[in-house]
Amino acid sequence: MALKELPLVDIVIFGGHGDLALRKIMPALYYLFWQNHLDPRSRIFSTVRSDETEEEHRQLVLDKFREFHPDNIYSDETWSVFASQLFVTKMDISDAANYQPLANALNEFPDRERINYLSTPSSLFGDICTALNANGLITSKSRVVLEKPIGHNLNSFKEIDDTVSAVFLESSIFRIDHYLGKDTVQNLLALRFSNTLFLPLWNNKSIDHVQITVAETVGVEGRWGYYDKYGAMRDMVQNHLMQLLCLIAMEPPRSLESDSDSVRNEKVKVLKSLRKLSSREVAEKTVRGQYKEGVSCNKSVPGYLEDDDKVRESDTETFVAVKAEIENWTWNGVPFYLRTGKRMSGRFSEIVIQFKDVPHSIFPNDGKALEPNKLIIHIQPEESIRLLLMNKVPGLSQGMRLRPVELELNVVPDDPRSPTAYERLLLDVIKNDATLFMRRDEVEAAWEWADNILDTWHEENITVKKYSAGTDGPSSAVALIERDGRSWHEDS
């Protein structure tokens, strides 16, 4: 995008000295500026609770940038110009009477587009939006970015979103999920909808099952108070994993560019087709676990209950496995196995699409079964797409013995530095493109499906199963998939 085409924006980051703001949002804005995607006349305001001079604020942003981005690409000259765009405002963001200094600053340029990024707990979203409206800070060019998860169940989401929607139009509300900004996740759309090779195979006639795993080696890392209120189902499953499931299972949208609702319409159809599990099925098709002490990354680590000195009991799950099913013509009979957890044996996020076995094998292959074709999509820590195929072992003495080989489907980027997910999504906000953001009915459908499981866990007293830190979760998660004659994918 040429500089003259860039909109002039004022960006306000509420919770400007929080971990998310300093670790992700500010570096993303700097890189956008560095790549000429942010007009140097734009301004970035951070709201804070402590007394802070602008010079102290700018130094803190730089220090955190260097801490979290040690391989950063920047020059003192570029940083100096970017830093001149940074401003700080001390205020109690829950009190509308505190907004006057911010209002005075923003009203210097009343015609600019305004982006309000709420990098705060979702319980404050309503107060902030109400205060913005009370101070006349919402214009026809205003947008608001909401971090998920929003609320802790469907009712709390509706309550929060009703307050936000009372002052912002739906078209101006950007509910962000950073997973959708990752290159490989977006490449999934390209892979599916631009290749005739996959189009006729992407259904229950050719696909046996799908696995989606988001595994972390870390524990709650100082976020115990927050995490214990949410757990893995609210924090990860109804949030990130649901979005990945939608991108795999959605039908082709009408367009990716001319209509941002085209993609979101198809995602909603998937979520509304998710099978609602009965009480018996919740017991059979879900696993909830909680890590105990163990060895992670070659060092002894405490259990979840020891991560906070004040806690002795908690039934919050740090691991979830679910067998989900989509009731429509395309996916009926294809299970989607979802798995996420903390303190697992490795850190990775991946999607595995396993195709059905060949109807009949003509190869003796030393009596070994042929390995089914798999499309393996790694989202983190490294992004890659691989297609697992069967091929003959070279040589005369091997006969017709087969072995799996991998076809790499990765594009070498022109730029050695890969943009972060927050860069892509923030640029979409600046460009007012909501394609990769959640619409209200989409979030409602995800919460409705998750709430059914959460409520059943509570009503039926389905307790967490303990697993040692540094493992792949409770043994019942292995049994969940092995009962169907399948197994979790493991890279050799």
Output the CA–CA distances (angstroms, integers) from residue 491 to 40, 256, 288, 341, 434, in the order listed: 46, 33, 24, 18, 35
Helix axes 440-459, 154-165, angle to 10 degrees: 150
pLDDT of amino acid 4: 47
Above 80 in pLDDT, residue 73? Answer: no
pLDDT band at 154 (very low <50, low <70, confident <90, very high): very high
- For 391, other C-beta atoms within 10 Å of its C-beta total 11
Tell me the mean pLDDT in the region 461-472. 96
* Distant-in-sequence, close-in-space partners of 344: CB < 8 Å, separation ≥ 6: 215, 216, 217, 319, 470, 471, 472, 473
Q: What percent of the chain has pLDDT over 70?
A: 95
pLDDT tens, position by position, 393-407: 887 666 678 888 999
pLDDT of amino acid 262: 92
Q: Is 90 helix (H, G, I), strand (E, B) or coil?
A: strand
Above 80 in pLDDT, residue 5? Answer: no
Q: Which residues are known catalytic residues?
A: 240
pLDDT tens, position by position, 349-393: 999 999 998 888 888 777 677 889 999 999 988 889 999 998 888
Provide the mean pLDDT of the chain. 91
Burial 218-254 (b: 16+ CB within 10 A, else e): ebbeeebeebbebbbbbbbbbbbbbbbbbbbbbeebe
Q: Which of 491, 148, 166 is nearest to 352 (CA)?
A: 491
pLDDT tens, position by position, 38-61: 999 999 999 999 888 999 999 999
Output the CA–CA distances (angstroms, integers) from residue 341 to 232, 377, 386, 467, in the order listed: 7, 19, 24, 10
Above 60 in pLDDT, residue 220? Answer: yes
DSSP string, 452-463: HHHHHHHHTT-P
Q: Which of 282, 354, 378, 356 is nearest to 323 (CA)?
A: 282
Q: Which of 392, 385, 277, 278 is nearest to 335 (CA)?
A: 277
| Cβ(138)–Cβ(168) below 8 Å | yes
Sign of the Cα torsion 216, 218, 223, 226 reads: positive
| Cβ(29)–Cβ(58) below 8 Å | no
| Cβ(209)–Cβ(336) below 8 Å | yes
Predicted structure pTM score: 0.93
Beta bridge mates, 47: 14, 89
pLDDT band at 120 (very low <50, low <70, confident <90, very high): very high
Above 90 in pLDDT, residue 432? Answer: yes
Lookup result for tokens 């115990």: 224
pLDDT tens, position by position, 93-102: 999 999 999 9
pLDDT of amino acid 337: 98
pLDDT of amino acid 225: 81
> What is the Cα 109 distance to its own chain's centre?
34
